[in-house]
């Protein structure tokens, strides 16, 4: 819905259309802001303690202090991306928390981590970001204009076709800033923007922030470097315990604390035991007259548009990363090749079957589908968590996000399943059956792979980094192997194992494959004396209809994908409330 909205100063219940206004910086008022958290074995810990200060419209303000003083916590609280316990933050006199969703489109936030995909060219990255953040009604020409303006503003005109991962550290940080500029924010918050940069690059970046503040936005950033402070209008000096030690210019701070250099000032702040030093400074900062400015409500792209954009972006990311694409294609080929070497031909020959080989061929075909689905999904979310979190804050619909992953990866899995069945049939590792039989097997294996994809995405949403996802892989694979009913038939498992096997997609896919291939008939009436006793050990496995197995596997897939969506909603909701 493309409309503007006036903010209710206490709630979101009143929405009145107003005319759009030209971008200008917010006046920011922080009043008695506190945050306390419960920490195991330490009890309640205070991260912010009654912080109060004001920032004028169009000012460039730095938050500095010793490590652990609460700089990042304060920045996130002011930007509305982290919760607070008490106190308030007001933009132009309007309470941030009471109108948080409406403010999302007019606040820019750049965390320490890059919030852009490294494998795409800069201009393509910004174009995708613009399509996600701007309304669906925006034309291609308007998107191009917004992208060009953002690139020009941060001085990256010469790097438009350069892969983001090939940009320097300072250029990547400016690229992240360009993403935020697409919606013309009126307040900018940056966490350690000069971290890891050399002095010259840091000075260039701060100069860009100064220009941005002078042009259209209020800019607040955290830093450890004293060299970053020269162009700032005001500096917020944080003291231990999450308290404000002083607010003012460097010269005023040096005079106030009676020191000659910034390092001495840091040492003084580290030893401030009471908030008396801040009492006469933070509260004395004048709050500008904000008048009665209206704030334009920024609509974002529809869920359908976001799904299309995310799908194209994910696909292009795969295509532009040769190593990832090679792994996606080569690893299934390698596994199928190993199957061809491992298994002898003719295991399903009715006159002279090999019962044990039949079981192993059926199981490993199923496990291959499960494994590829799992591994394809396992790194999808944890590798772009910072990007996801930021895009969620500006209106990304998580349903569209999960659906885009499925849309891109399921065709890959379908190709893997079809190619695996075709190769194994051509090499006589699988028996001669009508095409419809193999089509039925392909459907069952694909549903198993999609269920495993859902499990991989769910795990990727739960873990915090790639290392944890990698460690989770064997823990997810072992149950799929042990409780599938192939190594040990379900009929012979302990009761707890039989119950657990019911929660394994690999079990139902294994039974479905056996059902489609007529394994029970071969074991019961084929030419091997080992068949009947082996069949007896499997009990009634494989006796359900094909549709039943499909329904069970589809239910697993839907349940795991919905669970992934739920985990993402919960993990990104703390700052959305």
pLDDT band at 463 (very low <50, low <70, confident <90, very high): very high
Same domain for 242 and 372, yes or no, is no
Instruction: Please indicate, yes or no, whether residues 454 and 317 belong to a single structural domain of this protein.
Output: yes
pLDDT of residue 66: 81
**What is the domain extent for residue 313?**
303-571
Q: Is residue 238 part of a domain?
A: yes
Give me the residues paired with residue 29 across strands.
Answer: 54, 90
Q: Does 207 reside within a domain?
A: yes
Whether 362 and 227 share a structural domain = no
pLDDT of 499-542, one tens digit each? 999 999 999 999 999 999 999 999 999 999 999 999 999 999 99
In angstroms, the Cα distances linking 509 to 375, 420, 454 are 18, 15, 15
pLDDT score of 427 more than 50: yes
Whole-number pLDDT of residue 68: 83
* Residue 183 placed within a domain: yes
Query: Is there a single domain that holds both residue 242 and residue 352?
Result: no
Are 174 and 320 found together in one domain? no
Domain limit, last residue, from 263, 279, 295: 279
Residues 333, 264 share a domain: no
- Asked if 422 and 562 sit in the same domain, the reply is yes
Of 279, 294, 323, which residue sits at a domain end?
279
Q: Is residue 565 part of a domain?
A: yes
In a domain, 285, yes or no: no
Beta-sheet pairing, 234-239 with 218-222: unpaired
Nearest residue to 163 via CA among 117, 114, 119? 119
- Look up tokens 């040492």; give the residue: 267
CATH of the domain at 152: 3.40.50.300
pLDDT at position 99: 87
For the sheet with 86-91, list strands across it.
Answer: 43-55, 28-39, 86-91, 94-95
Do 317 and 271 share a structural domain?
A: no
Q: What is the C-alpha separation between 62 and 218, in angstroms, rounded?
A: 11
As a whole number, mean pLDDT of residues 50-75 equals: 91
Chain segment 296-307, per-residue pLDDT in tens: 567 888 999 999
User: Model pTM?
Assistant: 0.85
Question: For position 277, what pLDDT does the model report?
Answer: 46
29: in domain: no
Residue 40 burial (10 A CB sphere; 0-12, 13-18, 19+): exposed
Strand partners, 237: 64, 246
Helix 466-482 and helix 355-378, axial crossing angle in degrees, nearest 10: 160
Residue 402 lies in a domain: yes
Query: 264: part of which helix (H) or strand (E)?
Result: helix 262-270
Cα R_g (the chain), whole angstroms: 30
Asked whether residue 455 is assigned to any structural domain, the reply reads yes
Residues 420 and 442: their CA atoms lie apart, in Å, by 10
Using 50, 70 and 90 to split pLDDT, how confident is the model at 43? Answer: confident
Same domain, 316 and 192: no
Looking at the structure of the chain, the number of domains it has is: 2
In this predicted structure, the answer to whether residue 280 has a pLDDT above a threshold of 60 is: no
Are 221 and 317 in the same domain? Answer: no
Q: Minimal CA–CA distance to 121: which of 151, 146, 154, 152?
A: 151
Render pLDDT for 351-366 as a digit per residue (tens, 0 to 9): 999 999 999 999 999 9
Tell me the pLDDT tens digit for each residue of 388-406: 988 998 889 999 999 999 9
Alpha-carbon span 348 to 290, nearest angstrom = 81
Q: Name residues whose C-beta falls within 8 Å of residue 154's C-beta, 6 or more positions apart in sequence.
A: 174, 175, 177, 178, 181, 208
């Amino acid at each position: 819905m493309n409309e503007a909205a006036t903010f209710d100063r206490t709630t979101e219940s009143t929405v009145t259309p107003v005319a759009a206004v030209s971008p200008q910086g917010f006046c920011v008022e922080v009043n008695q802001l506190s945050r306390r958290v419960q920490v195991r074995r330490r009890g309640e810990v205070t991260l912010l303690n009654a912080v109060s200060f004001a920032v004028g419209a169009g000012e460039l303000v730095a938050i500095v202090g010793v490590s652990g003083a609460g700089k990042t916590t304060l920045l996130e609280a002011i930007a509305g991306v982290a919760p607070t316990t008490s106190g308030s933050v007001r933009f132009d006199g309007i309470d941030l928390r009471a109108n948080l969703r409406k403010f999302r489109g007019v606040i820019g936030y750049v965390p320490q981590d890059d919030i852009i995909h490294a494998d795409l060219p800069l201009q393509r990255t910004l174009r995708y970001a613009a399509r996600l953040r701007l309304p669906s009604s925006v034309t291609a020409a308007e998107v191009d204009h917004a992208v060009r303006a953002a690139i020009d503003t941060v001085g990256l005109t010469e790097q438009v076709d350069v892969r983001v991962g090939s940009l320097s550290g300072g250029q990547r940080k400016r690229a992240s800033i360009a993403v935020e500029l697409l919606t013309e924010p009126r307040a900018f918050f940056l966490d350690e923007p000069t971290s890891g940069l050399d002095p010259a690059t840091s000075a260039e970046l701060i100069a860009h922030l100064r220009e941005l503040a002078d042009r259209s936005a209020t800019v607040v950033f955290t830093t450890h470097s004293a060299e970053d402070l020269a162009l700032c209008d005001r500096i917020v000096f944080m003291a231990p315990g999450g308290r404000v030690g002083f607010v003012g210019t460097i010269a005023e701070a040096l005079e106030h604390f009676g020191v000659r250099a910034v390092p001495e000032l840091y040492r003084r702040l580290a030893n401030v035991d009471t908030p008396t030093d801040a009492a006469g400074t933070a509260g004395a900062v004048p709050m500008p007259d904000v008048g009665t400015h209206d704030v334009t409500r920024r609509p974002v792209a529809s869920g359908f548009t976001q799904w299309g954009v995310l799908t194209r972006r994910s696909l292009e990311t795969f295509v532009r990363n040769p190593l990832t694409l090679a792994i996606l294609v080569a690893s299934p080929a390698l596994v199928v090749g190993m199957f061809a070497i491992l298994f002898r031909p003719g295991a399903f020959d009715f006159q002279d079957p090999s019962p044990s080989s039949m079981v192993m061929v059926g199981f490993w075909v199923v496990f291959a589908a499960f494994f590829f689905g799992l591994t394809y999904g396992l790194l999808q979310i944890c590798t772009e968590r910072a990007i996801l979190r930021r895009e969620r804050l500006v209106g990304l619909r998580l349903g569209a996000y999960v659906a885009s992953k499925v849309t891109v990866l399921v065709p890959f899995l379908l190709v893997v399943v079809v190619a695996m069945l075709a190769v194994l049939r051509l090499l006589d590792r699988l028996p001669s059956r009508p095409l419809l039989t193999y089509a039925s097997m392909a459907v069952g294996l694909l549903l198993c792979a999609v269920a495993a994809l859902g499990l991989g995405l769910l795990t990727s949403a739960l873990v915090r980094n790639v290392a944890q996802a990698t460690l989770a892989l064997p823990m997810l694979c072992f149950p799929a192997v042990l409780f599938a009913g192939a190594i040990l038939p379900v009929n012979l498992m302990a009761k707890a194992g039989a119950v657990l096997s019911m929660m394994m997609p690999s079990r139902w896919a294994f039974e479905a494959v056996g059902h489609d291939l007529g394994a029970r008939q071969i074991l019961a009436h084929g030419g091997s004396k080992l068949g009947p006793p082996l069949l007896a050990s499997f009990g009634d496995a494989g006796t359900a209809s094909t549709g039943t197995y499909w329904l069970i596997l589809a239910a697993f897939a839907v349940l795991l994908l919905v669970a992934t969506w739920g985990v993402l909603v919960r993990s990104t909701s703390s700052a959305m409330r």
